[in-house]
Structure 1
């Protein structure tokens, strides 16, 4: 049964109480945009009375959490009905959704394929209708990748927008927390609660002509499956035909900055080791070999090189932020490939190749500290994701623009006119 692989813990009793309380409030005042909404939370979050296993068998022996994480506490205060903790990849440290300890929920569009990760159970809980909104984490694409591969909307905020207290840390430098849902409006509603940015009005879609989508041509389009490339190009043509301003630009300078950091090491490989030691884990015995090899890659990084990585990142973030024009949003395929077959991922070489491919595009927004969202494209067959990347700190504006893009893609047949801009 697929549901048994989606949740690691189900909160049947407390969810019933929360639902009854929400029903009683229905005739009175609401607690906000998530009052009475059915929410799942990733197994990365502390929930009082449960162990925060973060998808790992070696962490199951930890004591139960004494308190809810800040995110879970905020959800409860907002009247959300929290139905359970969802499956994830071990330590949130891979992007395909596999887990040898707890099982793998099959992709809701094809159960023989990977759902995407690390928020694997999160996306399946939403697409399969077990929850209206799922709360996940995104360190290198772990919200947007499953959204893209499984056909949902996934939003990653700017770093620091959502409090991380009480969440297992894969990378203290890159971790963010955000929602997966079936609409931009639901992601925006969840973001209001998660970020404690309570605004009185609902999300207002951006007006056409007030923003520009810049296609980030170049390296991030390499090795795209034909189905992904065709869906993307058709989408850009369609958006332009409806009046969305479209331009093209290069972000090669930013990618060069990232390559210099990657030439030294990766933040998750280094920082998750510190997290595990802080939890008293002195050995990687019992850790999935596919995860273990990535953690071990960070063990040899010298402290001086880690400091260099931090400094290079700060400079890259500042430079990239300054490169954005007013009301500009970058657009590209979320992942260059669609969901791979789970059977193919049993081979280590194939696993690491596919894992690197799906991470390649989304992780740019994490390292450069930008808000980003993945939208499902209206295609037949396996899902394809469209990723928008906004300027650092422009989270609400990005959601407004994403709402307009979403509604435009949901219109009828494509007109024949075009509206492309040559602005850089």
Structure 2
């Protein structure tokens, strides 16, 4: 078995070779990573281990605090902020588990927008094709996991920010039930919707990372038998405007699930989606809560440039009255309960993670209206899990010309069962 330090040095050498055009990592922790790798190797020689993450190379999104440095969150503005006093809680837990934290990955500014573009620090190149968007907001995390510069990447997911880059780069991305993993030390976007989740090349790696970040003992999950499972396909709005290649891959995946013994049933959720659109017509929850976080510079003017797509959306949300926000949140609670009741007849919901694959960066930069349309499509399916307080997993779905994802969603708190199902579906898709 290759020593952890040896594996780390190979990766660091690759990153050094492209240092003049580094767009995946915002910062590297070379010496600290070497020390952690050496500690793992010493434990191995002594016949000791801290668990399944011991010696695993991990990257973290640039919104997690690391003691002694400001947390940039993809923004130039935050360069002048005070250094973090302590590591984010998930970073502490990863270190205690023996993870080798190699660096911080780039992201979209303030974790807003799903395309993965960042006008300040550059856009991470999609791992499958550098001319394509990586997806966001955990853009560098998706590329890092896919290109192998980390074994596991840690991101955040407010409307799909783990699952979108996972799908577009061809890796696994897991969004746990909100608040299951503590947000302490993570720069917020929308406290009501934010989740912290891993991206990796296998479900097993996501399971190991999830357990550590949630502060749980490592648990071994068997693949869930597909026999007799009730899997819902929400025909309607969520399956509109799907690229032909993605649609074909999705249909094949449904056939595989059925052949493995699952019962595929159509369900309808368009009425609940429409009700939520009505409830948020004055402003989305993410934008309103984000505006509250950024209220000072929105009111007084930014000291440095801010991505216009971010400042525009947050500025508009600043105008939403408090009474509208309170009513929105009350209505959302009702709709979350209604969705939970609707899905109680099923084990899982299955959808394409995104109805479209990664699009050319140049085309989106050249046409704002086209970029807005693509962003809406990228978020359309994933944001259902955040808005209705579900848990969700994106798996690489073979068969399309560009990477695409198959998303499994489950009810609030059914994380382990969802991951167990993910193990089984991952094998089914790979065997095909």
Larger helix fraction of residues: 2
Alignment equivalent of 1:14, drawn from 6, 29, 32: 32
> How many pairs align?
411
Query: What TM-score results when the alignment is normalised by the length of structure 2?
Result: 0.92
What is the distance in 2 between the residues matched to 1:17 and 1:166?
A: 23
Alignment equivalent of 1:332, drawn from 351, 367, 392: 351
What is the distance in 2 between the residues matched to 1:151 and 1:281?
A: 40
CA drift at 1:230: 1.3
CA drift at 1:278: 6.8
Larger mean CA deviation between 24-33 and 351-360 belongs to 24-33
Larger mean CA deviation between 266-275 and 156-165 belongs to 266-275
Q: Corresponding residue for 2:233?
A: 215
Alpha-carbon deviations, 1:268-312, whole Å to 9, x = none? 211112222479984245111121111112011000000001101
The yes-or-no answer on 1:164 pairing with 2:183 is: yes
Alignment of 1:73-88 (within 5 A): 73-88=92-107
What is the distance in 2 between the residues matched to 1:259 and 1:219?
A: 13
Give the conservation status (yes or no) of the 8 Å contact 1:87–1:122.
yes
CA drift at 1:243: 2.3
Alpha-carbon deviations, 1:151-196, whole Å to 9, x = none? 1100001011000010110001100000000111111111101111
Alpha-carbon deviations, 1:320-364, whole Å to 9, x = none? 112223661000111111101000111221221111110111001
CA drift at 1:221: 0.7
Alpha-carbon deviations, 1:24-52, whole Å to 9, x = none? 11133321221110000000100111210
CA drift at 1:248: 1.5
Give the secondary structure class of the aligned counterpart of 1:214.
Answer: strand
CA drift at 1:235: 1.4
Alignment equivalent of 2:81, drawn from 62, 83, 87: 62
Give the conservation status (yes or no) of the 8 Å contact 1:240–1:246.
yes
Give the conservation status (yes or no) of the 8 Å contact 2:53–2:208.
yes
CA drift at 1:15: 0.4
CA RMSD, 1 decimal: 1.6
The yes-or-no answer on 1:235 pairing with 2:253 is: yes
Alignment equivalent of 2:145, drawn from 126, 144, 160: 126
What is the distance in 2 between the residues matched to 1:163 and 1:25?
A: 29
What is the distance in 2 between the residues matched to 1:32 and 1:24?
A: 14
What is the distance in 2 between the residues matched to 1:148 and 1:315?
A: 30
Q: Corresponding residue for 1:315?
A: 334
Alignment equivalent of 2:113, drawn from 73, 76, 94: 94
Give the conservation status (yes or no) of the 8 Å contact 2:245–2:399.
no
Q: Corresponding residue for 2:370?
A: 350
The yes-or-no answer on 1:178 pairing with 2:197 is: yes
What is the distance in 1 between the residues matched to 2:42 and 2:298?
A: 45
What is the distance in 2 between the residues matched to 1:376 and 1:268?
A: 27
Alpha-carbon deviations, 1:347-388, whole Å to 9, x = none? 221221111110111001001010001111112520111111
Unaligned runs of 5+ residues in structure 2 are 1-17
Give the conservation status (yes or no) of the 8 Å contact 2:234–2:269.
yes
Unaligned runs of 5+ residues in structure 1 are 413-424
CA drift at 1:210: 5.0
